[in-house]
C-alpha cells in the first residue's frame, strides 16, 4: 500500500513539473459598421484538435446556399456582407439582378422568391449559431468607438483606418497571448489577406500587418499578468490567407467581426440577433 502511495506521489510531482501544452489557432477579421462609428478586429480561438468540427460546421452552413456539386467544384466562400446585401435587396428584383451579376456564385438565387432568400439567410445563421454553441471556442477582439477615439486623440494626432487596425490588432494579440498563458497553450494567428491583387510590395497592407505583428511580439511591454517574454513564448506565427483559400475559420471570423460592429454595444440585449448573443456569451 505504501509503495502504491509513493508511486502516486512521485507521479503527481512529475505532473506539476511537466505542463501539458495545447495548440490553438486564432482566426481574425476586421469590420466597420454601416454608420462608420465602430471599427473592430475580432474572431475566435479554436483548439487545433477541434478544427475538423469547425470545417464541418462551415460546410453545413454552405449547404443552405449551394448544393454538393457546386461546393465541391467551385469551393464558394461564405461572406457576411454579401449575404446581408442579398437579404436586404431580395424584394427589389432589379437591384438583386445587378448584384448577383457581379457575384455569380449567387446566380441561382435570381429565380428564388424573397421569402426563400430570407429563409436561406436565416438558415446560414442558424447553422453558425449551432457551430458557435457546439465548438470549444472563445470569441476575442477589440472594438473601437471611432468618435470617442478621435475626441481623445484627434487634433494634431493623425487618425486613420490603419491606426484603428493597428490599435485593435495589438489589443487583440496581447489578450490572445494572455489566454494562451492561462490555458497552458501556444498558438498562431490566421488573418485574411488585406491586399488587392497588385499590392505585393513593402507598402502593401499585408506587409504592414506582418511588420506590426512582429513589433507586437518583439517590443510589446505586456499587459496585466503578462510580460514580453511570455508573449514571445505563447504566440508563434501570423499566417495570411486569401479569400480564395476557403479557410473555414476565417469565414466564421468574418461573421463574428461583422456582427461585433453591427451592434453598438454588447451590454444591452435590445435588438440583438441570436448569433450576436451567442458570440457575446463566448
User: Using one digit for the tens of pLDDT, what is the confidence trace for 149-205?
Assistant: 888 877 566 667 788 898 899 899 989 999 999 999 999 999 988 876 555 655 677
Number of H helices, E strands in the chain: 12, 5
Q: What pTM does this model have? A: 0.86
What's the whole-number mean pLDDT along residues 77-96? 94
pLDDT band, very low/low/confident/very high, at 274 (cuts 50, 70, 90): confident
Dihedral pair phi/psi, residue 257, rounded to 5°: -65, -45
227's grid cell: 510580460
Tens of pLDDT along 113-157?
999 999 999 999 999 999 999 998 999 999 999 888 888 877 566
13's grid cell: 510531482
Distance CA 164, CA 143 (A): 9
pLDDT band, very low/low/confident/very high, at 15 (cuts 50, 70, 90): very low
Buried b (16+ CB within 10 A) or exposed e, 225-234: ebeeeebeeb
Tens of pLDDT along 36-56?
889 999 999 999 999 999 999
Distance CA 223, CA 235 (A): 15
Distance CA 232, CA 171 (A): 15
pLDDT band, very low/low/confident/very high, at 17 (cuts 50, 70, 90): very low
The whole-number pLDDT of residue 46 equals: 97
Helices (H), 183-262: 205-219, 228-234, 248-262
Distance CA 46, CA 250 (A): 12
Host H or E run for residue 22: strand 22-32
Buried b (16+ CB within 10 A) or exposed e, 96-112: beebbeeeeebeebeeb
Does the pLDDT value for residue 16 go beyond 60? no
Q: Which residues pair with 108 in a beta bridge?
A: none
Does the pLDDT value for residue 84 go beyond 60? yes
185's grid cell: 497553450
Tens of pLDDT along 206-237?
777 766 776 666 565 545 556 677 777 898 88
53's grid cell: 468540427
Q: Which residues pair with 46 in a beta bridge?
A: 25, 137
The whole-number pLDDT of residue 152 equals: 85
Distance CA 281, CA 275 (A): 10
CA nearest neighbour of 179 among 231, 221, 228, 215: 231
The whole-number pLDDT of residue 50 equals: 96
Task: Kindly report which listed range (15-24, 217-226, 243-252) carries the lowest average pLDDT score.
Answer: 217-226
CA nearest neighbour of 29 among 282, 179, 240: 240
Distance CA 73, CA 248 (A): 17
Beta strands 185-192 and 22-32, pairing class: parallel
Amino acid at each position: 500500500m505504501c509503495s502504491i502511495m509513493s508511486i502516486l506521489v512521485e507521479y503527481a510531482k512529475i505532473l506539476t513539473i511537466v505542463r501539458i501544452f495545447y495548440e490553438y489557432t486564432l482566426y481574425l477579421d476586421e469590420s466597420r459598421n454601416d454608420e462608420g462609428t465602430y471599427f473592430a478586429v475580432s474572431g475566435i480561438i479554436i483548439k487545433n484538435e477541434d478544427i475538423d468540427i469547425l470545417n464541418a460546421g462551415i460546410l453545413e452552413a454552405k449547404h443552405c446556399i449551394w448544393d454538393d456539386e457546386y461546393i465541391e467544384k467551385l469551393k464558394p466562400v461564405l461572406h457576411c456582407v454579401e449575404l446581408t446585401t442579398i437579404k436586404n435587396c431580395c424584394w427589389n428584383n432589379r437591384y438583386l439582378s445587378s448584384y448577383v451579376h457581379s457575384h455569380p456564385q449567387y446566380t441561382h438565387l435570381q429565380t428564388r422568391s424573397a421569402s426563400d432568400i430570407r429563409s436561406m439567410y436565416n438558415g446560414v445563421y442558424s447553422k453558425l449559431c449551432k457551430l458557435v454553441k457546439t465548438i470549444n471556442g472563445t470569441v476575442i477582439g477589440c472594438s473601437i468607438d471611432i468618435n470617442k477615439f478621435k475626441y481623445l486623440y484627434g487634433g494634431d494626432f493623425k487618425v486613420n483606418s490603419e491606426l484603428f487596425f493597428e490599435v485593435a490588432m495589438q489589443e487583440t494579440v496581447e489578450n490572445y497571448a494572455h489566454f494562451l498563458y492561462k490555458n497552458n497553450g501556444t498558438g498562431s494567428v490566421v488573418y485574411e489577406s488585406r491586399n488587392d491583387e497588385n499590392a505585393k510590395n513593402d507598402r502593401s497592407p499585408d506587409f504592414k500587418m506582418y511588420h506590426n505583428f512582429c513589433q507586437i511580439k518583439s517590443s510589446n511591454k505586456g499587459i496585466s499578468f503578462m510580460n514580453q517574454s511570455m508573449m514571445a513564448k505563447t504566440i508563434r506565427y501570423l499566417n495570411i490567407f486569401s479569400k480564395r483559400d476557403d479557410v473555414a475559420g476565417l469565414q466564421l471570423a468574418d461573421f463574428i467581426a461583422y456582427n461585433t460592429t453591427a451592434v453598438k454595444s454588447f451590454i444591452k440585449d435590445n435588438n440583438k440577433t441570436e448569433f450576436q448573443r451567442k458570440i457575446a456569451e463566448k
